[in-house]
Chain A
Amino acid sequence: MKEKTANEYLFEIVSFLITSAERCLGPEQAYGPLRLIQTLYMLSFLPDYVQELEENELLMKVRAHVDSDLQNFWRGPQLKQFVQELCSDLSKKLKKLEV
């Protein structure tokens, strides 16, 4: 994964988001949540490219989830359950967050 520079990787994420938006305006409206999870997956690799960044627990959870079941992670019920789980994890993080 690390053959690219940070800027090249950022460009990949930008391309993904632009093309996902185009598809979601058309026949892939229902894929919006999936594309967002894919974006989180891509973001999970950012620390490989940007030294200041630390691994983010939530992002790593997304990566592990996607990698563990490429065949099914994107299917409706499984995706919904996972997003709910992420929201619950996020709540726990927010409670601990010192602002």
Chain B
Amino acid sequence: MYKGLLSFLFNSLVIKMVGLMMEHEPLLKTIRERRTIRRYKTDAVAMEKLQMLIEAARWAPSAGNLQPWKFLLITDKGMLNKVKMVCPGWIKEAPALVMICIDSKRETDWSYIDVGAALQNVLLCAHSLGLGCCPIGSFVVQNLIELLELPDHLKLVLLILVGYPDEELLPPPRLSLDELIFKRVGK
């Protein structure tokens, strides 16, 4: 019971702390409010907006600053339909698509982590622009290589659907800080 009380007090403290941080940290607010969006309005997404997402990705950290990523931006409806047909994980229509590749000419053992950092930048930037995104990992690489005539040195890693959200979502459950932090060493 004593342990439970301590845990309650600690969690209350964390909630207060996060509340305080939210007031002063717009980035944390963006991080906490971002959701994976799977239902989009039919409104077009301008190519300039997609380029802004890549501007955010461009500033992600990468091992040895090798920046192993390469992007494809698609808003053409015909091409979107064709890509969708070879992506079983893509359920509802989306007006725009960002594809992330690793350029094998700049690849290291850490490139997938680098791409993860770039992806998060894209997702946060999209949210701040009022856009929603859904990363998709289910697609047939061979079909997309042939469809988009990708050169051998580009390895397709991830698709990101982009569009204006047509749904409002509640935050999904998250593990508490207490459950996530294995050990605290120091004050």
Contact = CB atoms under 8 A, between A and B. Distances in A.
Interface of A: 11-12, 15-16, 19-20, 22-23, 28, 31, 35, 38, 41, 66, 70-71
Given A31-B138, A70-B91, A70-B92, A16 B85 contact: yes
Interface of B: 36, 38-39, 85-88, 91-92, 138-140, 142-143, 167, 169, 172
Contacts, number: 38
Chain A CB within 10 A, most for which of B91, B167, B169: B91
Tell me what chain A mostly uses at the interface: helix, strand, loop, or mixed: helix
B88 A20 contact: yes
Given A22-B140, A28-B138, A31-B138, A71 B88 contact: no
A18 B101 CA distance: 23
Chain A CB within 10 A, most for which of B88, B92, B138, B140: B88
A28 B2 CA distance: 46
B88 A23 contact: yes
A47 to B, nearest CB: 19
Contact of A70 (B38, B87, B139, B143): B38
A16 B88 contact: yes
Given A19-B143, A71-B38, 11 more contacts: A11-B85, A15-B85, A19-B85, A19-B88, A22-B140, A22-B142, A23-B138, A31-B138, A70-B39, A70-B167, A71-B172
A38 B91 CA distance: 8
